[in-house]
Amino acid sequence: MPKYISKLLSRYRRLILFLMDVAVICGAYLFTWTLINWKVDQVLYFSLMVSSCFLFVACYSIIFWATGMYDSLWRYAEIVEFFRCAAASVVAVITFIIISLMIFKERRLPYSVYALSATFASSLTIYTRLTYRMYRNTKINAMGKKRRRVLLVGAGDAASTLLHELNKNTSKEMNVICAVDDDASKQGRSIIGVEILGTTEDIPYLVAQCQIDTILIAIPTLDSASRRRILDICSKTNCNIKTLPDIVKIIADGKDLASRITDIKVEDLLGRDPVILPDEATKFIKDKVVFVTGGGGSIGSELCRQVANIGPKMLVIIDIYENSAYAIQQELKRKYNGNLNMEVRIASVRDTKKMDALFEEFRPQVVFHAAAHKHVPLMEDAPEEAVKNNVFGTYNCALCAEKYGVEKFILISTDKAVNPTNVMGATKRICEMIVQNIAQSSDGNTTFVAVRFGNVLGSNGSVLPLFKDQLAEGGPITVTHPDIVRYFMTIPEAVSLVLEAGAMGEKSGEIFVLDMGEPVKIVTLAENVIKMSGLIPYQDIDIVFTGLRPGEKMYEELLQDEEGVRKTANSKIFIGSPLKMDADRFFTDLLELKAVAYENDRDRLMRKIKVMVPTFNHEVLKN
């Protein structure tokens, strides 16, 4: 249809709809007279028919106009619009009957005229609108053949709202082909013209049969276990997977539904419930001076966010890398608009005098020590730097905490510290030993604890950003070994549990171990990253196995055999029993380790680490 005709029709839409109703109503009324075939005086017959027809059409037209029947956009009409149309028809018929009884006293209309004309006129006015709506939707669906074919998971309120919106907008890129829902009462039915063809278990079959490109999960209220189950099913297909957020939140922020459809995050596959901090977990931070070393890093910056949200007396961010420190500083400034008492200091935890000066200046009450070198392969090439930064950075901060009466010192540790096979893990184990030994020898005014957990998704240098970068470059995605597994949790979850563990820490020297859930195969993670980008693993994007890197394990452990474990009030937090150590011997070894590290003698350093960490099992030490 030429554009000028389309614009003309749009401009005179009301008039066209009005004239169409006049024609339909007039035709319905005259057809009624033809059906009853009233064989009387033809002049009177014709005169009564014409005059009553004019009255009939006038009643309908006036009532329809008064009730806004020409204001609605019928291509978007829902059931309520058709009820309004039916109600307006009833009012028009009643009006017609009343007026005709008053006007046509000598020659009354047959009762069959009232009944049949009302039925035909009311039905046809509704049918014309319904036919127009179906035509528009059919046109949209025909255009949809060029768009991505979508399978909708869920046939509830969210799905209904989305389908209504998609039907209103011909420019959307989705063509919803079918839906699935686990509610047995919905099987075999349809929602806004979309058939519900099965349950979530049928997704792989329907994807193949219906040539689906995209799976859209439209159940915002899913619990974590159900969400993970559905995502596991969806991940068996080669479809792009998207999710629809909570409608209430959409209404609250005023954004339209379709624009809020988002790609599934790989983190969702972990199926872990968000952690809600109990009030007790925030009391040890509220109105306190809090230090976060390594505050610009992945864990450190999230610590800063959550600590700031609790309301400290002052938040002091310490980091040697000024760019990351600046980034979190600006983020918190924007969020709190000057209402957060915050200081940022560029400093290295290796600098003993600098750290002492900072502790003396701010007198922190709580210290989160997250500063560390953590990249396993890089630390294999520079073990002396790992020792200088991780071990003696921790030692410096712990000594300052004891000296200046810090209430709680929380060390961020790693599962790689358990039976370590790499330098980074071994240095973090020594960090834990520092915390435990200082706790044993201190006067008890400072509570020293460590929190140990596995990998966090999305942190700097972790596999997820690497996979996404490799995917953006067109692949291949590299995985070290097809059977390698790791524990994962999200950064916000890890930090929330760190805060809660910090609140629990009453006995100095304890090591808190976070429940990491089930281990995840790295190759499965890589495959899901590809699938959730709408691509096919090993076909569109290849996965290449490069072999284990130096110091890399096939799997990680969270506890040493001799540590044991105790439960806490939180099912996701456990306490490893402190190991008994000879403190005097340990601190003597520590001084020797420092001397060797600053001599940059790699071989002697590795042997010294082995002396201090007997469970250190490194390839270099085997030769």
- 373 and 521 part of one domain: yes
Please check whether residue 611 lies inside any domain of the structure: no
Q: Which whole-number Å values give the CA distances from 272 to 55, 315, 416, 512, in the listed order?
A: 69, 29, 22, 19
- 520 and 384 part of one domain: yes
Q: How far apart are CA 213 and CA 534, in angstroms?
A: 8
pLDDT (mean) for 417-433: 90
* Residue whose structure tokens are 């209404």: 251
436 with 578: CB under 8 angstroms?
Answer: yes
Q: How far apart are CA 414 and CA 516, in angstroms?
A: 12
CB atoms within 10 A of CB 608: 20
- 481 and 372 part of one domain: yes
Q: How far apart are CA 620 and CA 517, in angstroms?
A: 32
Residue 146 — very low, low, confident or very high, per pLDDT cuts 50/70/90?
A: low
Of 167-171, 298-302, 376-380, which gets the smallest average pLDDT?
Answer: 167-171
Output the average pLDDT for the chain: 78
- 152 and 105 part of one domain: no
- 190-199, 308-317, 552-561, range with greatest mean pLDDT: 308-317
Take residue 539 and report the two structure tokens written for it: 């076909």
Within 13 Å, how many C-alpha atoms sit on residue 443's CB side? 9
- 241 and 191 part of one domain: yes
CB atoms within 10 A of CB 283: 12
Please check whether residue 588 lies inside any domain of the structure: no
Please check whether residue 615 lies inside any domain of the structure: no
140, 157, 190: which is the final residue of a domain? 140
Structural domain harbouring 30: 3-140
- 573 and 505 part of one domain: yes
Task: With a cut of 70, say whether residue 216 has pLDDT above it.
Answer: yes
Task: With a cut of 80, say whether residue 339 has pLDDT above it.
Answer: yes
Residue 389 — very low, low, confident or very high, per pLDDT cuts 50/70/90?
A: very high
Burial of 411 (0-12, 13-18, 19+ CB in 10 A): buried
Going by C-alpha positions, the residue among 291, 284, 301 that lies closest to residue 398 is 291
For 514, residues 6+ apart whose C-beta sits below 8 A from its C-beta are 451, 452, 453, 454, 489, 494, 497, 498, 501, 558, 572, 573, 574
Q: How far apart are CA 249 and CA 264, in angstroms?
A: 18
Active site residues: 416
Position 562 scores a pLDDT of: 46
Going by C-alpha positions, the residue among 136, 133, 24, 37 that lies closest to residue 89 is 24
Residue 358 — very low, low, confident or very high, per pLDDT cuts 50/70/90?
A: very high
- 405 and 521 part of one domain: yes
Task: With a cut of 70, say whether residue 119 has pLDDT above it.
Answer: yes
Residue type, 287: D
The 3-state secondary structure of 517-574 reads: CCCEEHHHHHHHHHHCCCCCECCCECEEECCCCCCCCCCCCCCCCCCCCEECCCCCEE
Task: With a cut of 80, say whether residue 579 has pLDDT above it.
Answer: no
Q: How far apart are CA 141 and CA 155, in angstroms?
A: 19
Going by C-alpha positions, the residue among 368, 376, 394, 617 that lies closest to residue 486 is 376
Position 448 scores a pLDDT of: 92
- 235 and 255 part of one domain: yes
In the chain, what's the furthest Cα-to-Cα distance? Answer: 127
pLDDT in tens, 480-527: 888 887 767 778 888 888 888 888 877 777 888 887 667 778 888 888
Q: How far apart are CA 623 and CA 621, in angstroms?
A: 6
Please check whether residue 314 lies inside any domain of the structure: yes
156 with 126: CB under 8 angstroms?
Answer: no
Task: With a cut of 70, say whether residue 461 has pLDDT above it.
Answer: no
Give me the CATH number covering residue 192.
Answer: 3.40.50.720
Position 254 scores a pLDDT of: 46
- 152 and 129 part of one domain: no
The count of structural domains within the chain is 3
Position 52 scores a pLDDT of: 76
Please check whether residue 502 lies inside any domain of the structure: yes
Please check whether residue 608 lies inside any domain of the structure: no
Of 247-251, 264-268, 440-444, which gets the smallest average pLDDT?
Answer: 247-251
140, 163, 180: which is the final residue of a domain? 140
Position 72 scores a pLDDT of: 53
- 204-208, 351-355, 542-546, range with greatest mean pLDDT: 351-355
- Identify the H or E element spanning 173: none
pLDDT in tens, 600-622: 888 899 999 999 998 888 766 55
Please check whether residue 64 lies inside any domain of the structure: yes
pTM for the structure as a whole:
0.62
CB atoms within 10 A of CB 325: 24
- Identify the H or E element spanning 528: helix 522-531
In this predicted model, which residue has the larger pLDDT, 324 or 243? 324
Position 1 scores a pLDDT of: 44
Please check whether residue 180 lies inside any domain of the structure: yes
- 394 and 532 part of one domain: yes
- 374 and 248 part of one domain: no
For 287, residues 6+ apart whose C-beta sits below 8 A from its C-beta are 311, 312, 313
- 136 and 156 part of one domain: no
Task: With a cut of 60, say whether residue 170 has pLDDT above it.
Answer: no
91, 125, 140: which is the final residue of a domain? 140
Give the strand pairing for 477-479 and 543-545.
parallel
